[in-house]
Amino acid sequence: MKKTIPRPVISAEKAVSFIRDGMSVMVGGFNYGGIPYTLVDALAESGTKDLYLIANDTAYANDEHPEGIGHGKLVVNGQVRKVTASHVGLNRETGRLFNEGRLDLELVPQGTFVERIRCGGFGLGGFLSPTGVGTIYEEGKQTLEISGKKYILELPLRADVALIRAYKADTWGNLVYIGTNRNFNPLMATAADFVIAEVDEIVEPGELDPDCIVTPGILVDALVLKGDGYYASRT
3 state DSSP class of 75: helix
Q: Which of residues 214 and 227 earns the better pLDDT score?
A: 214
pLDDT band at 5 (very low <50, low <70, confident <90, very high): confident
Domains of the chain: 12-124+156-226 (3.40.1080.10)
> How many CA atoms lie within 13 Å of 1's alpha carbon, on the beta-carbon side?
3
- Of residues 1 and 164, the one with the higher pLDDT is 164
pTM of the complete model beyond 0.85: yes
CB 199 within 8 Å of CB 226? yes
Q: What local confidence, expressed as pLDDT, does residue 230 receive? A: 47
What mean pLDDT is predicted for residues 168-181?
97
pLDDT of residue 200: 97
Percentage of the residues of the chain whose pLDDT score is greater than 70: 95
- Total Cβ atoms within 10 A of residue 199: 25
**pLDDT digit string (tens) for 183-192?**
999 999 999 9
Percent of the chain residues past pLDDT 90, beyond the cut: 92
pLDDT of residue 6: 87
DSSP class of residue 229 equals S
User: How far, in Å, CA of 52 to CA of 61, rounded?
Assistant: 18
